[in-house]
Amino acid sequence: MCTNLYVEDVKAEAEFFKAIGFFEVSRQKVGESDTFIMAPTRKGNARLQIWDIEFIRQMSPEVADDKPSILFTVTDGLEALHEKVAAQGLMTSPISKMGENLTFNFQTPSGSYFAFMQM
């Protein structure tokens, strides 16, 4: 699975995800812009492809303003992950309990909101 993120500053978004522990799977030049594929684990099949929104507005304007709502799940280490995300200086909620699971949400440099849940 690869989810597309359309952002103003591709490099800032990629650096944010690297800083919280994601891996850069690939980097490509598409037209005049770069695109990055990032993954939370080296072996997993969940990936984010980060695109320059201006490129998307030219190529596929009908999807350029779409924003996904993503919940990443982890089996352990939520507290350490929370610290890494909070250290980036963007909005990071406190860890809270949702049913039997612990969770928190956070903002990325592009203003998107995502969440992590420990299951």
% of the chain exceeding 70 in pLDDT = 100
Neighbours of 111 (CB within 10 A): 11
pLDDT above 90 for 32:
no
Render pLDDT for 39-57 as a digit per residue (tens, 0 to 9).
998 887 889 999 999 999 9
pLDDT (0 to 100) of residue 73: 92
Domain boundaries, the chain: 2-118
Q: Is the Cβ–Cβ distance between 90 and 107 less than 8 Å?
A: yes
C-alpha to C-alpha distance for 62 and 25, rounded to whole angstroms: 27
The candidate with the shortest Cα–Cα distance to 74, out of 100, 42, 43, 101, is 101
SS3 assignment, position 18? helix
CATH code for 2-118? 3.10.180.10
The candidate with the shortest Cα–Cα distance to 110, out of 50, 20, 61, 60, is 50
Tokens 């952002």 correspond to: 7
pLDDT (0 to 100) of residue 96: 98
The mean pLDDT of 67-74, rounded to a whole number, is 91
> How would residue 14 be classed by pLDDT, with cut points 50, 70 and 90?
very high
pLDDT above 90 for 108:
yes
pLDDT (0 to 100) of residue 36: 97
